[in-house]
Structures are given as C-alpha cells and as structure tokens.
Amino acid sequence: MNNSEYLPHIAYDSVIFGFSGEKLKILLIEYHNTGWLALPGGFVKKNEPLDEAVIRGLRERTGLDQVYLEQFYTFGSLERVRPEIMQKILEAQDANLPENHWLLDRFISVGYYALIDYEKVEPMPDALSDSINWYDVDSIPDLLFDHNFIVQKALEHLRTHLDQKLLSVNLLPERFTMKELQQVYEAILGENLNRANFQRKMLSLGILQRHEKLFSGGSHKAPYLYSFKK
Amino acid sequence: MNNSEYLPHIAYDSVIFGFSGEKLKILLIEYHNTGWLALPGGFVKKNEPLDEAVIRGLRERTGLDQVYLEQFYTFGSLERVRPEIMQKILEAQDANLPENHWLLDRFISVGYYALIDYEKVEPMPDALSDSINWYDVDSIPDLLFDHNFIVQKALEHLRTHLDQKLLSVNLLPERFTMKELQQVYEAILGENLNRANFQRKMLSLGILQRHEKLFSGGSHKAPYLYSFKK
DNA sequence: TACTATTGTTTCAAACAGATACAATAAATA
DNA sequence: TATTTATTGTATCTGTTTGAAACAATAGTA
C-alpha cells in the first residue's frame, strides 16, 4: 500500500450482505491486536474508476467477481475524521507495514453495499485485519468511526429498494422455494409477512419461473422450486 | 481559489431545481468566452464538511441559505476525467486567475440537488463563469463532462422520492392553491395527473392546512389557499 | 338571470391487500 | 391400507385504495 498509488482523501466502505438461510448478515473485519471492528473498505487507485476499486476490494475479500453492488451514500462529515484512532490501529500493526501517515488524513468515504450468496464465500482478511466474520444485522456491535451509521444507511436503502430491484436474486441460489424467498424478504425488512399474501404477490409479478418440486423427505406437501425469469 | 485550501480530487456538482409556476427548471452556468454550459459545482475545503461546502456554494450563487439539499450519487468514472476540456476553459479565462493545474486533475464528484423557490432568487455567476441561467428540464442542452448524465440521475432520484419527502414544499411559496401543487407534481413527474384524484390524495395525507380563498378575478369558483402543516 | 370556467366533492367500478379458511400432498405411523 | 401430521398452494371474504367520470358549488361576465 503506497501513498502515491492511491487518490488521497477518498475511500470507500462496503456493507457486504449475505443471507444465512435464516438471518441477514454482514461482513466485519477486526484490526490486528485491537479487537476493533469495522466495515471492510479500501482506496481508489489514481487511474481506476471508483466502481472498479470497490469491485477489486470485494474480489480480494470474498473471491467473488460477479456481485450485485449498489452505491448508496457518500460520507463527508468532519466527525468521521479520527486520526488518533487510525494512529492506534497503525501502532498495533506489525512493523512490516510502511509508516503511512497518509492514512491519518481526512477521508471522504463512498458507501456501497453488496449482496452475495453466503454459501459461496470464504471471507479473507486483508493486511490490516486479523479476521473477517459474519454478524447478524440485528445485533451489530459497536464499530469504529461512523461505521454503525453507515450500516444503518445501507439497510435503509436496501429496504426501500427491495421491491423495485429484485435484490433478493443475489442473496439466493439459482433455484429456491417460495419459503426461502419469503425468508429473505423477512430478514431484510425485519418483520414477518403473511405467507398466502406473499405468495400471491410474488406470483402476480410474473418474474418467477416454476420448476420441479423439491422433495426434502419431510412428511408433507413438497414445495415447488422457482428461479427468476431471465 | 488556492490549491492548498481545498481537498484535491474531490468536487461536488449541484442540480438546482426551481419551479417557474409552469415548468421545472435548473440552473446552468456558462464558462467565460466558451459558450460551454455546465452544472454549478465547487470544491471542499480541507476543514469543511462536505454538506457545508455545497451549502456554501449554493449561498454564493443564489443568496439563499435555508434550502432543501439532497445528496443523490457520487460520480467516479474515468470517462468523466477530461483535462483537455478543463485546459481550454482555463485558457479562455482572463489572466487574473492563477494557473491552477490542480483543476486538471481527476475529480470524483458528489452530486447534490437543491429545491428552491424560483421567485426568491437572483442567480449570480462565479469567477469562472459568464452567466448563470434557468433552463427547462425537458430541454437541457448539451453540457460539459458527464453533466447531462448527472442531471438525469438527479431527476430520477427526485421523482422516486417525491411522495416520501414532501419535496414540493421547497418549490412553492408559503401558500399555494391545489392546482399549483398539482403543477409541481406534474412538472417533476413529467406526466398529467387526474385533478380529482390528486386532490383526494393530498387531502387524505393530512399534511395540508386550508386557508382563505384566493380571488383571482376570474369568472369562476375561487380556489382555497393551502400551506403545509408545521 | 342565464352562462362560463374552474374548483370541491361524490360516486362507481376495478384493482389491491390483509386475514382466514380450505384443499392438496409427502411422508410417518397405526 | 387408512390415518395422521406438517407444510404448501389456492380460494374466499373483507376492507381499502385507485382511476375515471359525474355532479355540485361559485365568482365573475354577458
């Protein structure tokens, strides 16, 4: 990580959503030797499109390439500037990182969220962080800087755009049952939905392709599998 | 305008909407001696919140202080980097500006839109521009850089958030008729609305305060004046 | 007093949404 | 094989919202 390689004062933070089958989760990193949690983020190379930088960071952390990405807000307040915290993070690093005082500068950060298939991912920590793990969105711990606020903004955006954009596509495998689809909606919205009405609404949208039934072995009627029409 | 005073590589562009009583309009500036049109924009001081910078720019250009401002997207592609155009703009300037090659750098720009009362404003050009004028949103000429795209994105955002946020407040005088309110909606949405249904919907929201009638002299029933409840 | 243009309200039907009930069915069990 | 259970798919009933049109009120003009 070299000062001259990146645009100064500009960063991005990614809220990476995944669906465990039951709960909506996000990825958080933990900085070396501090126990401090934060959103995975990164910087933009001088000759790199902003979107590209975020995709690159996502690929490095998740190995995924084709993910749904949405920019939702840019954070530029002065309260988010906390050089003393960044200083401590750098101090807690091993010595193998160059002394980057440019990290102590003020940064304006562009917020993105990604929706990925939880199952397909083996999250990987980066040079600055010990670990990267999934956390339930309904019990996010205290995060560094303004990252709790950023998560909240991402969730709001996701919720209000849930219907318009068929975002659930990206959180489920290719084929899924109506129940699984409903669980995605419930996890994102944070509320329970009426099963019959949900099914009626989804079918009336005309976006679902019905496939064969899924026999799970349970002693009850087998659900159909669906996919999103291409 | 001094290099060291501002954050490098970071700019903002403002789409300033006004309502003429009939049409939705935006403010565009024309650069000295070029005839080139662009959105009014600016830069962020090193110790200034991003929002504050935009408010400052708006105050300088419109004299208005309390305006509705909304951040809608951040533009960070490489296509928007056009140093040769910026070079020509600077060349067309009078010599009283210092040679700012920092303006030729790549900029990531945060898009904001403002909603202001068209009547209350006497737009003022800045140091770089000859003039600043209103243009109908449904016939925006070719603009510099990616500014046509930025306007389009602003309009989309405005349209999709029109209902949720009572944005029309900011485009009308304190008191207005139901017809004027409907005209704001129609100008923003770009479509005609049914009068009776519009009135029913607005009244049912419970956000309007009804005042005295407005006698305009026309030979017909006089409309009530309304204001938004505080 | 009739006429005109515009505004406020009502009405009717169609579409939609919430809640519940009913029907179908895959497997376990008696 | 018949019965039971859990779950899924669909239908029904109700109340609400929405679109289109009609009706009623009224400020000025002829």
Q: Is B25 helix (H, G, I), strand (E, B) or coil?
A: strand
| Together in a domain, A60 and A112 | yes
Provide mean pLDDT across the span A30-59.
95
Decide if pLDDT at A169 tops 90: no
The stretch A171-175 carries a mean pLDDT of: 94
pLDDT of residue A127: 75
Of B117, B151, B166, the residue that ends a domain is: B166
Instruction: Please spell the DSSP secondary structure of B167-197, one letter per residue.
Output: GGGGGS-SSEEHHHHHHHHHHHHTS---HHH
B215 touches strand D (CB under 7 A): yes
| pLDDT computed for residue A99 by the predictor | 60
Residues A50, A18: one domain? Answer: yes
Structural domain harbouring A209: 173-228
Answer yes or no: do B190 and B152 share one domain. Answer: no
Of A118, A142, A166, the one marking the end of a domain is A166
Report d(CA A67, CA A56) in Å as an integer.
11
**B74: β partners:** B110
pLDDT band at A177 (very low <50, low <70, confident <90, very high): very high
Query: What CATH number is associated with residue A64?
Result: 3.90.79.10
User: What residues of B are in contact with residue A74 (Cβ under 8 Å)?
Assistant: 50, 71, 74, 110
Q: What is the pLDDT of residue A165?
A: 75
Best A3, A6, A7 residue to mutate vs chain B (most B CBs within 10 Å): A7
Q: Which residues of B touch A48 (CB under 8 A)?
A: 78
Tell me the range of A133-137, A162-166, B120-124, B126-130 where mean pLDDT is highest. A133-137
Per-residue pLDDT of chain B (230 residues; tens, 9 = 90+): 445 799 999 999 999 999 998 899 999 999 988 899 999 999 999 999 999 999 999 999 888 888 899 999 999 999 999 989 988 888 887 656 556 678 889 999 999 999 998 888 888 887 777 789 999 999 999 999 999 999 999 999 999 999 887 777 789 999 999 999 999 999 999 999 999 999 999 999 999 999 999 998 889 999 999 999 98
Shortest CA gap B55–chain A (Å):
13
Alpha carbon of A63: minimum distance to chain B alpha carbons (Å):
23
pLDDT given at position A125: 82
Same-domain status, A198 and A123: no
Mean pLDDT (chain A, rounded): 91
Distance in angstroms (rounded) separating the CA atoms of residues A112 and A27: 13
Q: Are residues B180 and B100 in the same domain?
A: no
pTM of the predicted protein model: 0.93
| pLDDT given for residue B167 in this prediction | 72
- A183: in domain: yes
Q: Which nucleotide is nearest to A220 (CA to C1')?
A: C26
Closest residue on chain A to B78 (Cα): A49
pLDDT the model gives residue B169: 79
Residue B225 is classified by DSSP as E
Are B230 and B211 contacting, i.e. CB atoms less than 8 angstroms apart?
Answer: no
**Same-domain status, B31 and B65:** yes
My answer on whether A144 and A46 are in the same domain is: yes
- Give chain B's domain count: 2
Residue A109 above 60 pLDDT? yes
> Quick one: which of A70, A86, A41 has its CA closest to B74?
A70
B221 CB and strand C closer than 7 A: yes
Q: Are residues A91 and A202 in the same domain?
A: no
The sign of the CA dihedral A17, A18, A24, A25 is negative
Specify the pLDDT at position B92: 84
Contact criterion met (CB below 8 Å) for B188 and B158: yes
* Mean pLDDT within A110-124: 91
pLDDT of the residue at B93: 77
Is B161 in the same domain as B182?
Answer: no
**Are residues A150 and A221 located together in one domain of the fold?**
no
Q: Model confidence at A2, in pLDDT bands (50, 70, 90)?
A: very low
Give a yes or no: residue A23 inside a domain. Answer: yes
Are the CB atoms for A75 and A112 separated by under 8 Å?
no
- Calculate the CA B83 to chain-centre distance: 25
Please name every residue paired with B140 in a beta bridge, in sequence order, or none if there are none: none
Using the beta-carbon criterion (under 8 Å), do B50 and A8 form an inter-chain contact? Answer: no
- Whether A97 shows a pLDDT value over 60: the answer reads no
Q: B48, A78: Cβ pair inside 8 Å?
A: yes
pLDDT at residue number A33: 85
pLDDT score, position A3: 55
Q: Quick check: A38 and A31 in contact, CB under 8 A?
A: yes
C-alpha distance from residue A223 to each of A178, A179, A180, A213, B228 (Å)? 8, 8, 10, 6, 50
Same domain, A42 and A105: yes
> Is residue A1 in some structural domain?
no
- Helix (H) or strand (E) segment spanning residue B156: helix B147-160
